Amino acid sequence: MDLTLDYNIELFPLANGDSFAMALASSLSRDGGAPTADGEDGEDKDRDVWRPDGKGRRGLEEDYDYVMYGKVYKFDTGSSDVVTAYASFGGLLLSITGSYRHLTNVVLGDPVYVLLRK
């Protein structure tokens, strides 16, 4: 798997050679993990909701230092087994390349969270 990511280096400085932990999630709630693409409508409505007061479905971010929220918007159009998915976090791009088998849970048009920790 290969990954490129734009992130705010002032908030989360990394130097060459640093190691960090990263998670991709489609929800921050710890319970059912990621609701898959064919989630139900009621659940779906909740997904785009964010609450300025900090309530709502949360939890996962507590374990990380840096959290971004965005959307998977593109897959490459080639027909090989190695697939690239693109996600955008308000203009900050993420591209993830790997075998299609590992990208089953990345669904076009779905929201996605990137969580980073040193």
Q: Under the criterion CB under 8 A, does residue 33 sit at the interface with another protein?
A: no
- Exactly one of 5, 23, 34, 92 binds another protein (CB under 8 A); that residue is 92
Tokens, residue 41: 């409508």
To which H or E segment does residue 42 belong?
helix 41-47
We find the least distance from the C-beta atom of residue 32 to another protein, in angstroms, to be: 18
Measured CA to CA, the distance from residue 67 to residue 116 in angstroms comes to: 6
Give the interface size with another protein as a residue count (CB under 8 A).
Answer: 51
Measured CA to CA, the distance from residue 87 to residue 110 in angstroms comes to: 9
To which H or E segment does residue 45 belong?
helix 41-47
Q: Under the criterion CB under 8 A, does residue 26 sit at the interface with another protein?
A: no
The residues of the shown chain that bind another protein, judged by CB under 8 A, are 2, 4, 6, 8, 11-12, 37-38, 48, 50, 52, 61, 64-71, 73-80, 82-86, 88-93, 95, 97, 100-101, 103-109, 113
